[in-house]
Chains A and B, each alone.
Chain A
Amino acid sequence: MADKKWQDTSLFMNREMSWLEFNQRVLNEARDPKNPLLERAKFLSITLSNLDEFFMVRVAGVKDLIHEDSEKPDPAGLTPKEQFKQIAARIHVMMEDVYSVYHRILIPHLKREGFRLVTEHGLKDQDREYLGHLFETELYPVLTPMAVDPSRPFPLILNKSLNIALFLKDAEGERHFATVQSPSVLPRLVSLPSGSYILLEDVLTLFMGQLFPGHTVEKSAYYRITRSGDLSFQEEEATDLLKEMEKSLKQRRRGDAVRLEISRDAEEDLVKYLMDALELGKQDLYLCDGPVDLSFITRVSKVMPLEFLKKPDLIPQTPGDLLGKEDLYAAIREKDILLSHPYESFQPVVNFVEQAADDPKVLAIKQTLYRVSGNSPIVQALSRAADNGKQVTVLVEVKARFDEENNIQWAKKLEKAGCHVIYGLVGLKTHCKLTIVVRRDEDRIRRYVHMGTGNYNDVTARLYTDIGFFTCKEPIGADASALFNALTGYGDPPDMRKLTAAPLGLRKKFLSMIRREADHARAGRKAHIIAKMNSLLDPEVIQTLYEASGAGVQIELIVRGICTLRPGIPGVSENITVRSIVGWLLEHSRIFYFYNDGNEEYYLSSADWMTRNLDRRVELLFPIEDERLRERLWDMLDVYLSDTQKARLMASDGSYAKVDGRGRPVVNCQEYFYEEAVERAHAYQQENVEERVFIPLEAETEENEYKDQED
């Protein structure tokens, strides 16, 4: 498959730069005047926390490669050094943009609504008195100033914490460096008697002298360090990086600082001191044109009653397929059910398990759990099911990235309740979302299956868009059971008819479907692919898409985040379009459509077109065969492709631009889907709700008694 043509590095985007463009799209939402003010503040905050994670994982990874003297270029032809240079330059520009949004948009608007943020100069006397008292009673006791001298090494500054760096002069005129962390246990936004607000670190600065008796404060500056985080990067780049590691025999340096954010007005020598101490270079330095760490901006809504500046909460609706259905299981027997979250409520998925726990007809429940919290209603239902004598098998993924709360604790609780718990698979993360309920119905044993594109997490189900699917059709039940048996170690990987799993054959399946479409095109037939996913990174898939485009297949990709494919390159990808949708909700669903010469195929999946999904995760691809549901998916894809508000089209140089909406109806896909769900529920209510006000309850008549007597 190593076609020389595709070694051309100009055909691929660099992954990190692509991600940064995604983050820019998030930041752009903060600029969009159509978004309510507090939503715009939220987007700013999300942009920053995304960057934090990016530094901790991705930038740290690139720096490691540089440290190991790796010259190996990525598919786009950039060596680690070159990548780093581009990344740093891009983020510097982005941070300027961030502060521009802050100063020019958020602060002025907030001011108009009565929010005033002051520094020392804006303080009234009553404020000063108040702050003095606050400092003594609440701040001072929790402060740990740390001085540095030859006998004391540079202290360990906590990752992502906000600190004040100081040069102090002692009685002899000697200069010392000191640092104080602004305590994270106290709220960052301090409310003042005069009605204004001040940042906690500014309060600290006011009383700084008190912290260092016998010294004067020469210079001070606010700063923040970001450190490298976990091993995910290593895993992402797999064999390449590992080979490099083995060659150099050096230990990976974990925990090193990778970024220094410091106020722009900081004195040069103070900055230099920090950079030397942290072993950082100029490209790692970010001068902030305002408060360091702007994440406090989302806290404004907590301290002021500004509800009207928020977007009203989305109220998940009763799913269209379940309107008027009392019994979930009966509804599934009647027909397959599709749920579009969060527009349609996630509650039925929870009910699916909760009902099963108490249903005497249910024999067994099997579920994969990834990123689920311990007090989730699903986990509790599973526990109850085991108590009620059901056979419960749970495949738990305990190592989920940064939110590594102790999943093991609740998993052990499940075990104690009698569930068979499997703590993950060696070498593979279980990413598929699958639930099987085995039930002895009146006529036979049935397997009710739920599969989805999103996690069994009722909290994230409100913030992400995802699609879930219920069925009790036998071929799917058999495949799902067989797959679960393999995952729990009972048997060999199965031959499945309807479902496809990674790493068992999902890559092959995707590639063969794309190639099949290309064959159709070459034979002069219509060929069309629509695919929606979160990231597109896998080189082999991208190559195959390029080939398909060359053969004449029309390919429309909806990729939310990273996309290293370059659309619109003449002779390579002129038949490929890429758009990204970033809106109020985080797009998370994965939908795949293949025209296949009229025998259309629709699939949903837990996997993106990323190498890690196809090779190093357990993922599921499942077909939607019900005609009614296929029409619904087609309509959904149509709406996504018609979005003129939140969609951004990718150009072949990797930049994104708004969709030209002239002469086209205004469509915001997420709002459209929400309205559609609300309408559907509402229409049902109108048609089916009783209009009567007084409905008398009468005793049953005793007619029958008389009848009997007659005989």
Chain B
Amino acid sequence: MNKNKVLAGIDLGSGSIRLKIMQLTDKGETQLLENVTRTIAIGKDTFASGRISPDMVEEVCQVLIGFKRLMSEYKVQVKRVVGTSAMREAENSDYVLEQIRVRTGLTVELISEAEERYLTRQAAFAAVPDFREKAAKGLLYTRIGSGTTQIAAYTDKGMNFSQTTQMGTLRILGMLSSIEGQTLRYQDVMEEFLISNMDYILRKGRQQSYTQYLVSGSMSDKIYEICKGKAPRKTSGKISFQAFNKVYRSMLSMSAADIAEQYGMEMERARRMIPTMMIIHTVSSYMKLEEITFSFAGLLDGILWELAGTKESEQQRSDSMADILFYTRMVADRFQCDQAHSEQVEKYAMMLFDAMQKAHGLTDRHRLILRMAAYLHDAGKFMNITDHAEHSAQIATSLEFSGITTEEQRMMATVIRFHEDVELIAEDPEYQRLGRKNRLILSKLVTFLRLANALDYSHRQKFTAVKVNVTGGRLVISATAHQNATLENWKVMGFGESVSDILGLSLELHIKGGE
């Protein structure tokens, strides 16, 4: 844990650059020292021309130099600087990052949308003290942004689903302006539109019972302040749906300028008020939720949370891995995978992975990916049995996982894609493109999955008391069969050559019993 340290995080977003400096006291408490936002529309450049202009780079550097000075005032020891969509999507992002590095000395990390989602969500949950209890009662989570809105659902078992819809406030604003002119009851029309876009999720949601609603996003603190009448003091706060509804109704008849004037905020924020409230209202009323919890934590908080490395954040990290796995199992369920087979494959894959830990040197992230691959490898059979591995890989690619990076997701999908075939691996163009380090990782993971899958090829769970041993250059798998296991034997030994190539071990399978 970074005890007694001063941490800092900087987020270069589309509309602003933010700095937070946090102190960890020796008692383990966190204290926010500085919270600075500098409005600067980096996104305007990127979204308009696809590039970040030199003037903008100059301005960004100026702001960062100021932030650097602030950080040196507190003698910040640990820091992380990240850039999100506006920087990521700019054509010249490489050059811009280099410029920033040269002129300010700060190295900006571009994080993927997935990681952004993950960190934001971590922060949102960390900010709610009784999050796990709430999840146990069935919790819906929405994060409302200007580009997208994420919806996720949690039960006590973990995350049920998670989707990013394109229903961000900017998009809604665009629609509002065209509908407003046509009807007085535009809010009803908008809500219908929102529901149709989130239909699947919300319908599914209604089948479980969700009693808790958690909202996060940059407008949260202002909405809370308006509904409650005073600024938030803690990291999260509750509002009754009644109180929220009252404010929502009165706001519908106000213009953005009125809102800015009456509630004291800039026009930019005032414009996003109604669309944000609309989304919250749609979800709350459709799901008949009585209370809304607002979390005021955002990406930066997530970054600092991780940097702090407290016990809580470690716990949360392992919780989120559990969430990912739970979700993966749910997805597999949806595609009607053979659960018993998947569990077996997972078990065998883990045994193989753990037995050869020293030899392969892979990380617990790879272990996670292998587990996920084990669950999803047959999902494609739902589409078509022929080339099901290909279909499974596509499913794995198009799903939304928060908590693994894009690369990790790609790796998992590729592992799935190769779990059947023996020969094609070396010639495959995508395999070539991976680069040496990743090719090695991929090969090892594929081998484990292939072997594990082969051990239950018949889907009949023929083996008990399976043991994996690595001794004297040999990979020895021993098992007790209670049925004829010729098929499994043939399939497993068929991978003998690749095991020898990739793992440098000779494969041996000893089966006791059976016929």
Residues of chain A touching chain B, judged by Cβ–Cβ distance below 8 Å, are 363-364, 391, 393, 420, 438, 440, 443-445, 474, 478, 481-482, 485, 488-492, 494-495, 497, 505
Contacts and interface: CB of A to CB of B under 8 A. Distances in A.
B38 interface: yes
21 contacts: A363-B74, A363-B75, A438-B73, A443-B25, A443-B27, A444-B25, A444-B26, A444-B31, A445-B6, A445-B23, A445-B31, A445-B74, A482-B35, A482-B36, A485-B70, A491-B36, A491-B38, A492-B38, A492-B39, A494-B35, A495-B231
Interface stretch (B61-69, B182-190, B283-291, B430-438): B61-69
B37 A492 contact: yes
Complex A-B, nearest 4 residue pairs according to Cβ-Cβ distance, in ascending order = A491-B36, A364-B73, A490-B66, A391-B73
Contacts of A489: 66
A637 to B, nearest CB: 28
A478 B23 CA distance: 13
B33 interface: yes
A490 B33 contact: no
Interface of B: 6, 16, 19, 23, 25-27, 31-39, 63, 66-67, 69-70, 72-75, 231, 264
B74 A364 contact: yes
Of B33, B39, B73, the most chain A CB neighbours within 10 A belong to B73
A490 B75 contact: no
Contacts of A364: 73-74
A497 B231 CA distance: 8
Contacts of A474: 31
Nearest to A440: B75
Nearest to A475: B233
B36 to A, nearest CB: 4
Of A363, A445, A494, A497, the most chain B CB neighbours within 10 A belong to A445
Contacts of A495: 231
A391 B69 contact: yes
A710 to B, nearest CB: 39
B36 A445 contact: no
A37 B38 CA distance: 59
Contacts of B36: 482, 485, 490-491
| A interface: dominant SS | mixed
B37 A491 contact: yes
Of A438, A491, A495, the most chain B CB neighbours within 10 A belong to A491
A490 B63 contact: yes
Given A364-B74, A490-B67, A490-B70, A481 B34 contact: yes
A443 B23 CA distance: 11
A438 B72 CA distance: 12
B38 A490 contact: yes
Of A420, A438, A474, A490, the most chain B CB neighbours within 10 A belong to A490
Contacts of B74: 363-364, 438, 445
A363 B34 CA distance: 14
B26 A391 contact: no
B37 A505 contact: no
A20 B422 CA distance: 102
Contacts of B19: 490-491
A438 B23 CA distance: 13
A481 B33 CA distance: 9
A494 B38 CA distance: 10
A364 B34 CA distance: 13
A540 B298 CA distance: 40
Contacts of B69: 391, 393, 420, 490
B71 to A, nearest CB: 10
B66 A443 contact: no
Nearest to A445: B23
A263 B142 CA distance: 85
Nearest to B221: A495
Contacts of A440: 75
Nearest to A420: B69
A492 B72 CA distance: 20
Contact of B33 (A393, A445, A497): A445
A477 to B, nearest CB: 9
Given A444-B23, A445-B33, A363 B66 contact: no
B291 to A, nearest CB: 25
A436 to B, nearest CB: 10
Contacts of B16: 492
Contacts of B75: 363, 440
Given A482-B35, A485-B34, A505-B264, 8 more contacts: A363-B73, A364-B73, A440-B75, A443-B27, A444-B25, A478-B35, A481-B33, A490-B69
B254 to A, nearest CB: 19
A6 B63 CA distance: 46
Contacts of B73: 363-364, 391, 393, 438
Contacts of A494: 35
Nearest to A489: B66
A489 B6 CA distance: 23
B26 A443 contact: yes
Of B25, B72, B74, B231, the most chain A CB neighbours within 10 A belong to B74
A478 B34 CA distance: 7
A489 B40 CA distance: 13
Nearest to B66: A490
A111 to B, nearest CB: 63
B441 to A, nearest CB: 43
Contacts of B32: 478
A332 to B, nearest CB: 18
A495 B66 CA distance: 20
A417 to B, nearest CB: 16
Nearest to A490: B66
A497 B264 CA distance: 14
B487 to A, nearest CB: 66
Contacts of B27: 443
B97 to A, nearest CB: 22
Nearest to B25: A444
A481 B25 CA distance: 19
Contacts of A438: 73-74
Contacts of B67: 490
A492 B19 CA distance: 12
Nearest to A495: B231
A353 to B, nearest CB: 16
A667 B290 CA distance: 63
Nearest to A436: B73
Nearest to A478: B32
A438 B21 CA distance: 13
Contacts of B6: 445
Contact of A391 (B34, B72, B231): B72
B74 to A, nearest CB: 6
B459 to A, nearest CB: 60
A476 to B, nearest CB: 14
A445 B74 CA distance: 8
B404 to A, nearest CB: 34
B228 to A, nearest CB: 14
Contacts of B63: 490
Nearest to A491: B36
B297 to A, nearest CB: 16
Of B27, B67, B69, the most chain A CB neighbours within 10 A belong to B69
Of A440, A444, A492, the most chain B CB neighbours within 10 A belong to A444
Nearest to B27: A443
A386 B319 CA distance: 47
Nearest to B38: A491
A583 B23 CA distance: 49
A391 B70 CA distance: 9
A495 B36 CA distance: 10
Contacts of A443: 25-27
Nearest to A447: B33
Nearest to B222: A495
Contacts of A391: 69, 72-73
A412 B167 CA distance: 53
A491 B70 CA distance: 11
A488 B66 contact: yes
A444 B39 CA distance: 30
A445 B37 CA distance: 21
B449 to A, nearest CB: 50
